[in-house]
Structure 1
Amino acid sequence: MPMVKRVHEDGLVFQAIKLMRKKGIGGIPVIEKGSSKAVGNISLRDVQFLLTAPEIYHDYRSITAKNFLTAVRSYLEKNHENCPLVTGMITCKRDHTMKELIQLLDSEKIHWIYVVDNDGNLEGVITLRDIISKLVHEPRGYFGDFFDGVLPLPQNSRV
């Protein structure tokens, strides 16, 4: 499985956003310090909280990924909003079937899911785009370079 771009929990959220922009990706996993355990996800959609939540905005250049996730969860809970940041990181295992992945993505209203091992260590990412490309043939370059930031599924994948 290809290496997933990631940020450690003590890394700056500002750097995570810059990395997402540079790599053309919509989200990045947050990894526990000193391990490979996935503890959360920051998406481009979450950037809105840097602008709309004053308690987060005042530290936007120095807030760590872990503190950002904590602050956003607190903000959402206080405002009674439900989203994956509140309920926790949505993950799957290598042995999930294509049908299970599609149902999970649909039920959670998300566009990608991180693959973890039995200990919660990050192994990869599967996007909705990956699944669609397995179901529908698209000639190489059909979408130009629009999806170049999407990680391909490994050839020996069960999904």
Structure 2
Amino acid sequence: MKVRADIAELLYAGLSDSAIARQLGVDRAAAVAPARAALRLPKAKPGPKAYASAEDLFWRRVKPTDDGHMEWTGFHVGRTPAMRHGGRNLTACSIAYRIANGRPAKGQARPSCGRDHCVMPGHHADQADRAHARARSKVIQAWAGGLRRAGRALEREREKRVDALYAQIFGTPE
């Protein structure tokens, strides 16, 4: 029996006969079941299918909000958005960080956008990012302090010049 390539591809991907029939708009009994038999593939296991990656599972469990953030629709451990994949418990924030930065978070990944429990990729900082931001903040504060001191010094210089001009024009007060 000649098997359609699109049916064979979905069968090898592990989809059920009814899912393939729905997706391709074919008859399950007439097209998909004989193709499964011809390819000598076992029936698909019932129940929910495992996700290929934690990122796939993440995208199934988020919902965009109107203000540019995302909220978690999956389960929580305490108040932390979490999921289970590959036998491991993972936080949604760590997966969002990995999606945005292409690397796992060093330490905890926490929302840096100001909204509690936001899981939008790109809205998180790990321990190294937070340490870098603190150091950068200290540099900016030191620079701003230096500008204030320099501004006061310039103001004193200008006052001295104005006093000298006043003295030249009107003389020194006695």
Considering the TM-score relative to the shorter chain, is it more than 0.5? Answer: no
TM-score w.r.t. length of structure 1: 0.25
Larger radius of gyration: 2
The structure where helix makes up a greater share of residues is 2
